[in-house]
Amino acid sequence: MFTFLYWKFGLGLELGIFLIYACLLTIIFVIDLENQLVLNKVTYPAMALALAFSFFWPGIGKVGALGGSTISQAVSSLAGEAIGQAVISLAGGALGLVAMALPIIIYPPGMGWGDVKLGALVGLMTGYPLVIVAVLLSWITGGLVAGILLAFKIKKRKDPIPFATFLATSAMVTLLWGQVIWQWYL
């Protein structure tokens, strides 16, 4: 993964940000897969890092058409480009938090609060509107895998399936190709 990121971005600030995100998402993926846990020890510091990175990473505000660039331009004209990027990140974090909180509010035993916090982290990493891509990808892939596991009787209906693995993977896919996916969708 690190070699691919180096090949894609070359040496620079963007590579450093993506390497840190890749490490964080891999840690979350493995811990959730093995223990069905999303640890606050990882999530909270990662949220602070993602917000801090948003000030320095102009890629977070580059999504056009109903997306981050409109918000970023509006805020940037008032407060500066770095603040506009941070607003994009915060809007993504809020949307990720709300989107992942809805399932737990509707059916509390179905999901844990760690997944909700991870939704906020993914939103901070990807920003608005790419958080929509990440969440939808995770819901689609998670649903497909759960359906396959149920159909082949590998899992039963009440057995846990670690959802953060899907959200972490979707976050990485969105960070790498989210703008292309967003433009393709529109």
Give pLDDT tens digits for 43-79.
999 999 999 999 888 777 666 544 555 665 665 555 5
pLDDT for residue 115 is more than 80: yes
Q: Is the pTM of this model over 0.75?
A: yes
9: in domain: no
Residue 2 belongs to some domain of the structure: no
Domains of the chain: total: 1
26 within a domain of the structure (yes/no): yes
Q: Is residue 90 part of a domain?
A: yes
State the pLDDT at residue 61. Answer: 65
Residue 82 lies in a domain: yes
Please report whether residue 159 resides in a domain: yes
Averaged over 134-145, what is the pLDDT? 96
Residue at 56 is within a domain: yes
The answer to whether residue 58 sits within a structural domain is yes
Give the domain range for residue 128.
18-181
Instruction: With a cut of 60, say whether residue 175 has pLDDT above it.
Output: yes
Q: How far is CA 145 from the centre of its chain?
A: 19
Give me the pLDDT at residue 109, please. 82
| Pairwise pLDDT comparison (146 vs 56), residue with the higher score | 146
CA distances for 98 relative to 8, 103, 121, 131, angstroms: 32, 9, 12, 11
